[in-house]
Amino acid sequence: MNSIIEYLTGLDALTDQMIATDLLISAKSGVRNYAMAITETGHPEIKAILARHLDEALDMHEMLSTYMTEKGWYNAWEPKEQMNLNLQNINTAINLPTL
């Protein structure tokens, strides 16, 4: 994102966090979808391919959640802290200036 627009909209500090959050949500969705697909197929080769993709999606989720935890953007083990972070992000989004 253009640094001037990031500054004007207040997104300069949230851009990386928003991208990481979007990727984490996508990784979670991928894990769920691959797991469901594995249970829906009876062909052993297809199951093996889907299982390999599931393992990759789980690895991606692990990397993203670790990265976000280290940055302080994700508190999976501290629900109260995560809720406070979510509320801060909501307030930031609500208070963004309109262009």
Where does residue 57 rank: exposed (0-12), middle (13-18), buried (19+ CB within 10 A)? buried
- Dihedral class, residue 72 (left if φ above 0, else alpha if ψ from -120 to 50, else beta): left
Q: Is residue 99 part of a domain?
A: no
Cβ pair 43, 50 in contact under 8 A: no
What is the model's pLDDT at position 40?
Answer: 96
Q: Any idea which residue has 């309109």 for tokens?
A: 98
Name the residue range of residue 82's domain: 3-94
Given CA atoms 60, 63, 67, 68 in this order, what sign does their dihedral have?
positive
Domain assignment present for residue 62? The answer is yes
Measured distance CA(67)–CA(74) in Å, rounded = 9
One digit per residue, pLDDT tens: the chain, 99 residues? 566 666 666 665 557 888 898 899 999 999 999 999 999 999 999 999 999 999 999 999 999 999 999 998 888 888 898 888 888 878 877 776 665
pTM tops 0.75, yes or no: no
Number of domains, the chain = 1
